[in-house]
Amino acid sequence: MEEMQKYLKEILSESRYKHSLGVMEKAEELAKIYKVDIESAKKVGLLHDIAKEMTIEQYKEYANKNNIKITEQDEMITAILHAKIGAHICKEKFGFTEEMQDAVRYHTTGRAGMSMLEKIIYVADKVEEGRKYDGVQELRKLAEENIDEVIMQIVDFNLMKAVNNRNPIHPLSIEMRNELIKNEKSSV
């Protein structure tokens, strides 16, 4: 853990490093509530943005070298690249398991069929203590009770923002939302 923190501190800006510590702490809290392995949650929380400060050229070069497939959708929504490539770096450098890699890989878009660890990281990233936006307090509280509802609210907010700004929407996010709605309907 210490080694990871040291590495991260060297490669990230101070504010992103702080965000990473915030996600680590929030992931730990949520892991306790939802009975997920705490060490794994902390490590993924800490390192989820490990590739966030690389350039597009560096992403492409890294992906080429390591046979990571970048889809056309990924290219349109470049935020997915730091997640995909970050997952690979975490495997290579710190021996992340498949499940931990998935939690890094899908922390931006989400996807249908997320594990509880993936959900925790997706949510911790958006509600860690350093995040400041209208409604974050409510989401933080709700995250302790109903994590799916928080994911739904986050994805809706992001989709509406994308629509308003005429930005593309990643199909994985749509698939995640559809699954949540299906589960909601079947549990009524």
Q: Report the interface residues with Fe ion, using CB under 5 A.
A: 49, 125
Cβ atoms of 106 and 122 closer than 8 Å: yes
For residues 64 and 118, what is the distance between their CA atoms, to the nearest angstrom?
A: 26
Shorter beta-carbon distance to Fe ion: residue 105 or 177: 105
Least separation in angstroms between CB 77 and Fe ion = 12
Least separation in angstroms between CB 116 and Fe ion = 19
Shorter beta-carbon distance to Fe ion: residue 29 or 125: 125
Least separation in angstroms between CB 24 and Fe ion = 11
Least separation in angstroms between CB 8 and Fe ion = 12
Shorter beta-carbon distance to Fe ion: residue 76 or 181: 76
Shorter beta-carbon distance to Fe ion: residue 40 or 86: 86
Shorter beta-carbon distance to Fe ion: residue 36 or 47: 47
Least separation in angstroms between CB 125 and Fe ion = 4
